[in-house]
Amino acid sequence: MLAGILFAGCLLISNILASKIIMIGPWSAPAGVLVFPLAYVINDVIVEVWGYRKARLIIWAGFAVNLLAVLFFSAAIAIKAAPFYDGQDAFTAVLGSTPRIVTASLLAYLLGSFLNAYIMSRFKVLTKGKGFSLRAIVSTLAGEGIDSLVFITVAFIGVFPVEVIAGMILTQAFIKTIYEIAVLPLTILSVKKVKQIEGEDTFDHSVSYNPFHIGQL
């Protein structure tokens, strides 16, 4: 439950931060890059300890939380502000993501999260539980890579020049890779501690990897 709450929280925060484009050295990237990689670390822990089925449940729960947030943000923006409130424009600028941004964010999140969970789970079975570090890095690279590619392309194609978009994609991929490697010792420690506490180490030998297989949530 705690892992699921942290996962959904990271996603919600990253989507809010994504409304700002920041500079990291000479490169530009959505500010969500500051926290979003943490969600993939938590995803790795969930898959490694509880397996793909539980990860699938939490991924869909995170999707629902973000969709709910978008609906309430939109409602709050649409409702007439109090006469003395002068922050409407700023409020709308931060929380009023366009349908295009929302679509890009949710689509990228689902594709990236499920790819990350799939690779982690399948590799664990194939390696008989060995090589967690390699599995964590490879799965995150794949998941974060497709997430960055889909989100930035869908959200900003036609808005920014192609070279800027390409730079943003590469910047995100690079930052997330460095992030994953940097926090890998913490990820390994977290997995070991959670396994000890929970007494679980799930292997998905026969699970359906269909993300829409609700019967196995």
Our count of domains for the chain comes to 1
Residue at 211 is within a domain: no
CATH code of the domain containing 193: 1.10.1760
206 within a domain of the structure (yes/no): no
Give 121-132 as a DSSP string: HHHHHHTTT--H
Does some domain include residue 177? yes
**Cβ contacts of residue 45 below 8 Å, gap of 6+?**
3, 187, 190, 191, 194
Cα 22 to Cα 156: distance, rounded to the nearest angstrom: 15
| 213 in any annotated domain | no
- Separation of alpha carbons 2 and 20, rounded Å: 28
- Coil, strand or helix at 84: coil
Q: Is residue 208 part of a domain?
A: no
Query: Would you say residue 135 lies in a domain?
Result: yes
Q: Which residues contact 74 (CB under 8 A, 6 or more apart)?
A: 96
| Residue 168 and residue 153 in contact, taking contact as beta carbons nearer than 8 Å | no
Mark the ranges of the chain whose per-residue pLDDT is less than 50.
none
pTM: 0.83
So what's the pLDDT on residue 155?
82
Distance CA(195)–CA(132), nearest Å, equals 13
Residue 207 falls within a domain, yes or no? no
Q: What are phi and psi of 202, to 5 degrees?
A: -75, 135
> What's the pLDDT at 216?
56
**75 falls within a domain:** yes
Range of the domain at 109: 2-201
